[in-house]
Structure formats: C-alpha cells, structure tokens
C-alpha cells in the first residue's frame, strides 16, 4: 500500500481503487530527530471504521484503520479536547474534532484505507485472506510505520479485534518494547483511541457519502458531471440491516455486470442478491459443459480446455 493524499481535506474525494496509507505531518522535533535524541515517549491509540458492529459485516465502502499518537507530555491536554467514541458523536462534532489535529500540532495520526475491491479480492483468493487477517495486517502496519518514522511508542491502546487477550499477546510479541492494552470499547475508555476513532470514521464517511466510481472516471481523469436536479445517492450506513443500504444494493445492481467498486461483493448479503437478481454466466472452462470446452479443444488427459493448457493456467480465476 502506498502513501497517498489525505481524502478528508478534499471535496470531492478521489476515486478509490487501491488501498493506501496516509501519515500526517510530524512535529519539527520528531522530523529532525531531536525527539529520538531526547528519548521522548509517545502514546498511540488504534481504532477502525467500516468493519461493522457485532459481527454485522459492512457491505459497502472501505474499511479504515487509524492510529492517533502524541507525546506522553501532551496527555493532560488530550483529555480535555473532547475525543470519544465517534459513533456516539454527531457529524458536526466529529468534523470539529477532526480539525483539532491541525490546532494541536503534537497530536498526529496515520490511516490505512482498505478499498472495497482489495477487501473482496483478498477474501476470494484461492487461499482466502479473511477480514480479521486484513485488519490485523493494517494494525501491525500502522504501528511499524510509526516506529520507522522515529516515534518512540511507549504505550498503545487498541480497540479489541476478536478475543482481546490473544490479540494483545500477539502484538506484545511482535513489538516487545511497547506496553499494549487491548480491550472492547477502547474508543470510549481512552481518549487517544477516541482520537483514532474520529480519523477512521470521518475518512470512511467521506468516501461513502461522496463516492466516485472508478469505472466512471474518464481516461484523462475527468470526473462524471451530475445534473443540477440529480438527487444524491443515499447509501445509508453500509450495514446489511440498514434499509437505505438494502435499497441501494437492490437499485444499483446490474444483472449482468453486478456492482461497481464501492460494494464488497464477497459478503453473503451481496451474494444472495446476485443469486436472486443476477444473470447466470457460463464459463468456457466449466468441465460440466463439454460442448463449451470443445470450442477450444479439450485436453484428453484431464478435461481442461486446450486454451487453458496452452496458457499454462487451470481456469478463469487465474487470469
């Protein structure tokens, strides 16, 4: 994943196709290496948006993992800013808290945005990479990148991903110099995790509510133009229990080509809709249809189409 521009300070957000990581600017003493010389200790908090509550996996949009971090000496100020679980705050309050990162220079953040396309393609691999593993990799990557940037993380608070004791033990084994606290509802218990929660939520919401389909961007980068009287698309929260999200999934389905990039097509909810409303496709490498295979010359040894044998592949998925 490459470093990219910050989507929160752009309107509209750029079309998202590839996952990426963004880092805010570090204070001058860190960037210059002075903090490392003084062995200044920092705290970090990590939270996510776009996974879904209570195992209700999100159907649309990216999943964003965010880390907020600041010197331990800044902790008393951090406690008074007003950070909390982003889901418990209004959109206006979240935006105001987001802007506080510019006001309080010692307070920094990083975010890893996993695109819907990457989430789905990882889960549909021959050896699947499930959402838990993708979330773990994002968390570990955020911590490692902070250390690589010269930040001396002393304490790290993480919102629980699965069983908290096991996840805390694994993080501690990977980063033995950091004191980890992993627990449910960490975003409401620790202000630094609440700060990370704001970054993750605001970043994801900007993508969901102002999404630009990569498929609709012209080759020269020109964005699609909407008519003045065109109603904005309401995608809801992205959770399968949300009626607005359900309506969006029903109305945006193309029976032949399925969905555009915002939809995570690896989820059960989407698969059910595709099975019910989509057109069944027949693949030429389907061994249950010998007539299709014979168009390309079947391999007498194993029934594979001759085309796949000549290309050195075993099916459409490898292409």
Q: Are 267 and 260 in contact (CB under 8 A)?
A: no
Please name which of 241, 254, 318, 252 lies closest in space to residue 285, comparing C-alpha atoms. Answer: 318
48 labeled binding residue: yes
One DSSP character per residue, 2-64 reads EE---GGGSSSPPP--S-EEEEPPPPHHHHTTHHHHHT--EEEEEEEESS-GGG----BS-EE
Nearest to 155 by CA among 67, 36, 64: 67
Report CA-CA distances (Å) from 157 to 132, 137, 184.
18, 16, 11
Number of Cβ within a 10 Å radius of residue 141: 16
Residue 59 is labelled as binding a ligand: no
Q: Closest Cα to residue 287, out of 275, 296, 279?
A: 296
Whether residue 213 is annotated as binding a ligand: the answer is no
Buried residues in 244-279 as b, exposed as e (16+ CB within 10 A): ebbebbeebbeeeebbbbbbbbbbebbeebbeeebe
Rounded CA separation 71/75 (Å): 7
Binding-site residues for a divalent metal cation: 47-48, 159
Binding-site residues: 47-48, 159
């Amino acid at each position: 994943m490459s470093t990219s521009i910050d989507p929160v300070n752009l309107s509209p957000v750029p079309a998202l196709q590839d996952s990426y990581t963004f880092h805010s600017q570090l204070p001058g003493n860190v960037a210059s290496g002075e903090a490392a010389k003084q062995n200044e200790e920092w705290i970090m908090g990590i939270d996510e948006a776009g996974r879904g509550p209570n195992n209700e996996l999100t159907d649309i949009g990216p999943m964003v993992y965010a880390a907020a971090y600041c010197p331990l000496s800044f902790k008393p100020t951090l406690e008074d800013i007003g950070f909390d679980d982003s889901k418990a705050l209004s959109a206006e309050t979240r935006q105001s808290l987001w802007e506080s990162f510019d006001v309080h220079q010692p307070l920094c953040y990083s975010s890893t945005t996993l695109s819907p396309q990457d989430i789905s393609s990882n889960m549909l691999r021959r050896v699947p990479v499930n959402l838990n593993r993708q979330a773990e990799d994002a968390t570990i990557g955020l911590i490692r990148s902070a250390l690589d940037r010269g930040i001396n993380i002393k304490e790290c608070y993480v919102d629980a991903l699965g069983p908290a004791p096991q996840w805390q033990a694994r993080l501690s084994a990977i980063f033995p110099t950091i004191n980890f606290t992993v627990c449910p509802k960490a975003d409401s218990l620790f202000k630094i995790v609440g700060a990370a929660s704001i970054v993750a939520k605001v970043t994801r919401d900007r993508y969901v509510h102002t999404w630009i389909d990569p498929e609709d961007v012209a080759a020269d980068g020109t964005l699609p133009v909407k008519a003045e009287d065109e109603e904005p698309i309401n995608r809801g929260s992205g959770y399968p229990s949300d009626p607005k999200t359900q309506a969006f999934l029903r109305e945006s389905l193309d029976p032949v080509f399925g969905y555009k990039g915002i939809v995570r097509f690896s989820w059960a909810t989407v698969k059910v809709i595709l099975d019910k409303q989509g057109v069944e496709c027949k693949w030429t490498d389907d061994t249950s249809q010998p007539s299709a295979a014979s168009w390309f010359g079947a391999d007498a040894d194993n029934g594979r189409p001759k085309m796949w044998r000549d290309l050195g592949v075993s099916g459409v998925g490898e292409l």
